[in-house]
């Protein structure tokens, strides 16, 4: 089996490295922290990010990026989206042959509104990669690392390369689908984090399952609205990388976005919350990006708008919920038909 480099040794990079090692690949896991590389190589653990998990011996950690990517056929990028440009700029200096690039990060860049694959394509010269593929779907690292059944979708402008990546990852516990809608698959994964923050807030305020179901359903409507305005196929949001990931992130206590929202709902302020989390909460940055884009393009996103006011303007979560509940009356079927591009 081939040599594969996984770039980013947080929860998700480590869990994906474990899946690849289970599939008998020679896995190189790069981390920007030397002591973490030593822990992975000596103790076969990554305790801060995957508590209680013993990593397969086929995973070797590297601190030197050039060594990590030497002779690999595939690179899997799994750093927080905020670090993606910087890491690609470093990669550009050390990749010396064309590779397939897959990313599994979920976010949109504020101000530029770029998806992760667009950021990668901007930073890496075309001759260094054969394709850019995204892997996304309902997949908490904590469960993947316990080999619990998980399904994801891979997508690329080049479907053959997506199928190649499907082959790398698929096994009896980790089922991988393909999709041709790169834009939709990336946006589903990025935008659900906004709604998960909202679901956490709702739970933190003490609201119940009815409120959460409403957030998931109305959240899906606004994800679809923004997604299609950015070029996605609306059907993608009915799939694993859309409603699938939305459900898992809004309902699982593994979700950092849900947990961060929960602390906000309980009255903590954003800085306190991010301090307590100690792991990436992608929804904060993506809320800013989606809010700015929706304003510029006049896309209606009431939940995202409310989240933006809580995160960046100091609005009280309860007041935002009250305002959402007392908006003007709507016709549900008409809206849904419009989302799917038909008239009711």
Ligand X SMILES: O=C(CO)COP(=O)(O)O
| Cα–Cα distance, 101 to 130 (Å, whole number) | 8
Q: Which does 81 bind (CB under 5 to 8 A by kind): ligand NAI, ligand X, none?
A: ligand NAI
Nearest to 36, CA basis, from 69, 6, 61, 56: 61
Closer CB to ligand NAI, 2 or 278, in the complex: 278
- Strands 99-103 and 174-179, how do they pair? unpaired
84-123 positions binding ligand X, by CB under 6 A: 106
130-149 positions binding ligand X, by CB under 6 A: 138-140
53-82 positions binding ligand NAI, by CB under 6 A: 78-81
Residue 314 backbone dihedrals phi, psi, to 5 degrees: 75, 15
Tell me if 231 is assigned to a ligand binding site: no
DSSP secondary structure of 142-164:
HHHTTT--EEEEEEESSHHHHHH
Which of 114, 192, 212, 288 does the annotation list as catalytic?
192
Q: Give how many residues touch ligand X by CB under 6 A.
A: 13
Region near ligand X per CB under 6 A, out of 91-99, 251-259, 315-323, 324-332: 251-259
Q: Does 255 bind ligand X (CB under 6 A)?
A: yes
Q: Does 13 bind ligand NAI (CB under 6 A)?
A: yes
Q: Does 85 bind ligand NAI (CB under 6 A)?
A: no
Work out which of 4, 5, 6, 10 binds ligand NAI, going by CB under 6 A: 10
Q: Does 115 bind ligand NAI (CB under 6 A)?
A: no
Under DSSP, the state recorded for 99 is E
172-201 positions binding ligand X, by CB under 6 A: 193, 196
Q: Which does 107 bind (CB under 5 to 8 A by kind): ligand X, ligand NAI, none?
A: ligand NAI
The answer to whether 298 and 316 are in contact (CB under 8 A) is no
Q: Does 29 bind ligand NAI (CB under 6 A)?
A: no
CB of 151 vs ligand X, minimal distance in Å: 11
The answer to whether 68 and 28 are in contact (CB under 8 A) is yes
| Cα–Cα distance, 33 to 64 (Å, whole number) | 10
135 CB neighbour count, 10 Å cutoff: 27
Q: What is the edge-to-edge ordering of all strands in the sheet holding 174-179?
A: 59-62, 26-30, 3-7, 74-77, 99-103, 129-136, 150-156, 174-179
For this structure, is 192 an active site residue? Answer: yes
Nearest to 58, CA basis, from 88, 86, 84, 20: 20
CA distances to 25, 121, 243, 247 from 208, in Å: 45, 43, 20, 15
Q: Which does 200 bind (CB under 5 to 8 A by kind): ligand X, ligand NAI, none?
A: none
Closer CB to ligand X, 249 or 262, in the complex: 249
Q: Which does 294 bind (CB under 5 to 8 A by kind): ligand NAI, ligand X, none?
A: none
Tell me if 257 is assigned to a ligand binding site: yes
The answer to whether 189 and 106 are in contact (CB under 8 A) is yes
Q: Which does 10 bind (CB under 5 to 8 A by kind): ligand NAI, ligand X, none?
A: ligand NAI
**∠278-10-251 over CA atoms, to 5°?**
70
CB of 274 vs ligand X, minimal distance in Å: 13
Query: Which residues are known to be catalytic?
Result: 192
Residues that bind ligand NAI (CB under 6 A): 8-13, 31-33, 49, 78-81, 83, 86-87, 104-107, 139-141, 279-280, 282
Residues that bind ligand X (CB under 6 A): 106, 138-140, 193, 196, 245, 248-249, 255-257, 282
């Amino acid at each position: 089996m081939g040599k594969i480099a996984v770039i980013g040794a947080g929860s998700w990079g480590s869990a994906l490295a474990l899946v690849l090692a289970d599939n008998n690949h020679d896995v190189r896991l790069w981390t920007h922290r030397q002591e973490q590389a030593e822990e992975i190589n000596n103790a076969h653990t990554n305790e801060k990010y995957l508590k209680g998990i013993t990593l397969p011996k086929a995973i070797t950690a590297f601190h030197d990026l050039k060594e990590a990517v030497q002779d690999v056929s595939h690179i899997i990028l799994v750093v927080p989206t905020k670090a993606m440009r910087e890491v690609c700029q470093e990669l550009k200096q050390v990749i010396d042959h064309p590779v397939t690039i897959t990313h599994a990060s979920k976010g949109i860049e504020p101000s530029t509104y770029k998806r992760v694959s667009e950021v990668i394509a901007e930073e890496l010269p075309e001759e260094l990669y054969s394709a850019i593929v995204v892997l996304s779907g309902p997949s908490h690292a904590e469960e993947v690392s316990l080999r619990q059944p998980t399904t994801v979708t891979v997508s690329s402008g080049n479907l053959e390369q997506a199928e190649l990546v499907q082959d790398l990852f698929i096994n009896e516990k980790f089922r991988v689908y393909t999709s041709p809608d790169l834009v939709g698959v990336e946006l589903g994964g990025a935008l659900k984090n906004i709604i998960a923050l909202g679901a956490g807030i709702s739970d933190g305020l003490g609201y119940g399952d009815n409120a959460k179901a409403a957030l998931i359903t109305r959240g899906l409507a606004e994800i679809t609205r923004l997604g299609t305005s950015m070029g996605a196929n609306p059907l993608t949001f009915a799939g694993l990388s859309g409603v699938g990931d939305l459900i898992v992130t809004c309902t699982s206590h593994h979700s950092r976005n849900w947990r961060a929202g929960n602390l906000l709902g309980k009255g903590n302020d954003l800085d306190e919350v991010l301090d307590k989390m100690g792991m990436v909460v992608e929804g904060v940055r993506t809320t800013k990006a989606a809010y700015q884009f929706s304003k510029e393009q006049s896309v209606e996103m009431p939940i995202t708008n409310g989240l933006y006011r809580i995160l960046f303007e100091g609005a009280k979560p309860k007041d935002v919920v009250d305002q959402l509940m007392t908006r003007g009356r709507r016709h549900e079927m008409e809206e849904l038909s419009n989302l799917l591009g038909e008239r009711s």
